[in-house]
């Protein structure tokens, strides 16, 4: 008889703020997401304050297997160098992997050259490719429409499937690139702003209706979303789509077991 693996799978939101003013004021933190997937720990988008938010919650960088960067913008990459140094115990214990788009290593690399040698591996994200970190695999299905090279992530773990839809403008084909029991959506704006390459609350509604996950989590809020109160927006989207929509809170630890039943 195969026993069900009950090792917890969790996502901790080290921040739920996004874009320049929110990062500058830290009304909402901007530390990214820390995944623990049956013991494989992965950090996504370590924005400014990640080291403070993670150590405060006793999350230990030396346990990370990898850091993944969806794109090079400061609100996603501000603490990358300090987190690489923490992951490798200041370089005394070289280890861990870094995944990032090619342009994050371009003219103005987001990582200092001396830190590159501390890592086991640096892997370049490309559209349509699948990568493995221990038992966890993830795919970067499509290049997003954003000011710099950006990818979202579709994860498959021992127990669950979920997607992270990082910064982008809404485009045809976005919804069909992602699936899973859970989708996490970065929405900066409450009202649509067609000239800015970010998703709005209405875009999130379209994505949720098309993808039909069991649960959707909204995060990466700019000032207009904050003023609209993310939990109210989530409640409204739940009503409109008939799907459970949650607004992430700073420090929220979401247990993927909640997706069952």
CB of 112 to Zn ion, least distance (A): 21
Q: Which of 72, 73, 144, 154 binds Zn ion (CB under 5 A)?
A: 73
Q: Which lies closer to Zn ion via its Cβ, residue 96 or residue 152?
A: 152
CB of 197 to Zn ion, least distance (A): 8
Contact 38, 157 (CB under 8 A): yes
C-alpha torsion angle, residues 46, 49, 50, 53 (rounded to 10): -150
* Dist. CA 185–CA 120, nearest whole Å: 30
Q: What angle do CA 83, 12, 79 make, to 5 degrees?
A: 20
**Taking CB under 5 A as the rule, does residue 220 contact Zn ion?**
no
Contact 200, 187 (CB under 8 A): yes
| Residue keyed to tokens 């045809």 | 172
**Taking CB under 5 A as the rule, does residue 250 contact Zn ion?**
no
Q: Which of 45, 167, 203, 250 binds Zn ion (CB under 5 A)?
A: 167
CB of 149 to Zn ion, least distance (A): 11
3-state SS assignment for residue 49:
coil
The count of residues interacting with Zn ion (CB under 5 A) is 2
3-state SS string for 111-139: CCHHHHCCCCEEEEECCCEEEEECCEEEE
Q: Which lies closer to Zn ion via its Cβ, residue 97 or residue 169?
A: 169
Stretch that binds Zn ion, among 46-54, 69-77, 153-161, 217-225 (CB under 5 A): 69-77
Q: Which lies closer to Zn ion via its Cβ, residue 73 or residue 154?
A: 73
**Taking CB under 5 A as the rule, does residue 149 contact Zn ion?**
no
Q: Taking Cα atoms as reference points, which of 73, 102, 257 lies closest to residue 166?
A: 73
CB of 69 to Zn ion, least distance (A): 11
Contact 237, 203 (CB under 8 A): no
* Dist. CA 106–CA 132, nearest whole Å: 24
Q: Which lies closer to Zn ion via its Cβ, residue 35 or residue 199?
A: 199
Contact 199, 165 (CB under 8 A): yes
Contact 160, 140 (CB under 8 A): no
Distance of CA 113 to the CA centre of its chain: 25
Q: Which lies closer to Zn ion via its Cβ, residue 41 or residue 167?
A: 167
CB of 222 to Zn ion, least distance (A): 11
**Taking CB under 5 A as the rule, does residue 45 contact Zn ion?**
no
Q: Which lies closer to Zn ion via its Cβ, residue 18 or residue 213?
A: 18
CB of 67 to Zn ion, least distance (A): 17
CB of 97 to Zn ion, least distance (A): 22
Q: Which lies closer to Zn ion via its Cβ, residue 70 or residue 241?
A: 70
- Binding site residues, Zn ion, CB under 5 A: 73, 167
């Amino acid at each position: 008889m195969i026993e069900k693996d009950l090792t917890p799978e969790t996502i901790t939101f080290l921040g739920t703020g996004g874009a320049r003013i929110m990062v500058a004021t830290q009304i909402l933190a901007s530390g990214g997401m820390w995944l623990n997937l049956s013991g494989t720990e992965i950090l996504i988008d370590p924005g400014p304050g990640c080291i403070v938010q993670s150590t405060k919650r006793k999350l230990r960088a030396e346990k990370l297997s990898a850091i993944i960067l969806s794109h090079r913008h400061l609100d996603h990459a501000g603490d990358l160098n300090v987190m690489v140094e923490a992951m490798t115990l200041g370089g005394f214990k070289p280890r861990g992997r870094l995944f990032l788009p090619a342009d994050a290593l371009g003219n103005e690399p987001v990582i200092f050259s001396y830190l590159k040698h501390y890592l086991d591996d640096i892997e370049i994200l490309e559209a349509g490719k699948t990568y493995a970190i221990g038992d966890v695999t993830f795919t970067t299905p499509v290049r997003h429409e954003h000011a710099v090279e950006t990818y979202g992530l579709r994860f498959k773990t021992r127990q669950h499937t979920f997607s992270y839809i990082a910064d982008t403008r809404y485009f045809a084909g976005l919804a069909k690139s992602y699936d899973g029991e859970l989708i996490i959506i970065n929405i900066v704006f409450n009202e649509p702003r067609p000239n800015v390459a970010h998703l709005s609350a209405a875009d999130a509604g379209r994505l949720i209706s098309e993808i039909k996950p069991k649960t959707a989590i909204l995060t990466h809020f700019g000032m207009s979303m904050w003023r609209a109160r993310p939990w109210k927006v989530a409640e409204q989207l739940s009503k409109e789509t008939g799907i459970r929509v949650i607004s992430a809170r700073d420090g929220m630890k979401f247990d993927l077991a909640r997706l069952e039943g």
